[in-house]
Amino acid sequence: MAVVAFGCAKREEAPGFLGTTRISPAMHNDMPGLSYKTRYPQSGFEVQLLEHIEEWLKVPMTGSADVMSQDRVQLLRGGMADMVVASFSITTDRMKKIDFVGPYVTTRQGFLVGKKGSHIATRDDLRGTTVCTWDGTTSVEQLRKLHIEPLVLQDVASCVEELRAGRVDAVSTDQMILYGFADRYAAEGLRVVPNLVIGAPQHYGIGLPKGHREDCERLRDYVKGYVGSSEWVNDIRSSLPKLVEAEPEWTNSYKPSAEAIDARSCRDEPSP
């Protein structure tokens, strides 16, 4: 793969990154389109992003460790990972504990349905239904604000299996994640409900341990260049074709601005 380089992300040649000469990243392994691993090499948009970062840094990385959503902050604070790229929403609470670089993409919470939930088109249609989500995400809170008590499982794959088996009506989380499953199980009729979103936009960031602000800011500048490039567009198009197909103007809502990246990167709280 060719090195992805952007003029605004020019960096000084310095050995190592985050105080190490070999970076240990952590990622999900069960999210088609974002970060998915079976018997074949890991694939998805976040995998491509991590590969670009490794080539830009010229610092080797170990094979990515698998991480559950509820363990992402703990993994960084406990020194068990140097970097987490795992559909990691930037929140004020998390910013107090770790540093973020990003967002590298912005998404909204939506709903994935199959045959059982084919009638769901509006928020009113969710009444009396069983909606699945998983622990350690911002999705649980947003559903409860709508007075929906979700079925909370350990991970996204478990929720999708419940949906495929017809035991739940819908799976709810960020649309970036749902479109990947809609593509993988299109033959089974799984689809993202159009124009049905809840909650505030979710801003995905790269999680880093605190204490490395200079390196954090270098990575921030790189991410700003990447998001503003055609490489970012092409990576999402190749990884999440259902998203691009369903939302013709998708770049307007999924692409963060440079100002949004500055406001949430390498800070203890978002900039106004």
Please tell me the distance from the alpha carbon of residue 64 to that of residue 70, in angstroms, as a whole number: 17
Residue-wise pLDDT for 238-247, tens only, equals 999 999 999 9
Residue-wise pLDDT for 7-29, tens only, equals 444 444 445 899 999 999 999 99
Beta strand ranges found along 117-241 (DSSP E): 131-134, 151-153, 170-174, 191-192, 198-208
Which helix (H) or strand (E) covers residue 232, if one does?
Answer: helix 230-239
Residue-wise pLDDT for 165-195, tens only, equals 999 999 999 999 999 999 999 999 999 999 9
Strands 65-66 and 35-36: unpaired
Please tell me the distance from the alpha carbon of residue 75 to that of residue 114, in angstroms, as a whole number: 34
Same fold, 7-107+202-264 and 108-200: yes
Please tell me the distance from the alpha carbon of residue 234 to that of residue 2, in angstroms, as a whole number: 14
Beta bridge partners of 30: 36
CATH of 7-107+202-264, one of 1.10.3720.10, 3.40.50.1100, 3.40.190.10, 3.90.1150.10: 3.40.190.10
pTM above 0.85, yes or no: yes
How far, CA to CA in Å, does 89 sit from each of 36, 54, 227? 18, 22, 17
pLDDT exceeds cutoff 60 at 2: no
The dotted CATH code for 108-200 is 3.40.190.10
Torsions phi, psi of 222, nearest 5? -65, -45
Residue-wise pLDDT for 108-149, tens only, equals 999 999 999 999 999 999 999 999 998 888 899 999 999 999
Where do the domains of the chain lie? 7-107+202-264, 108-200
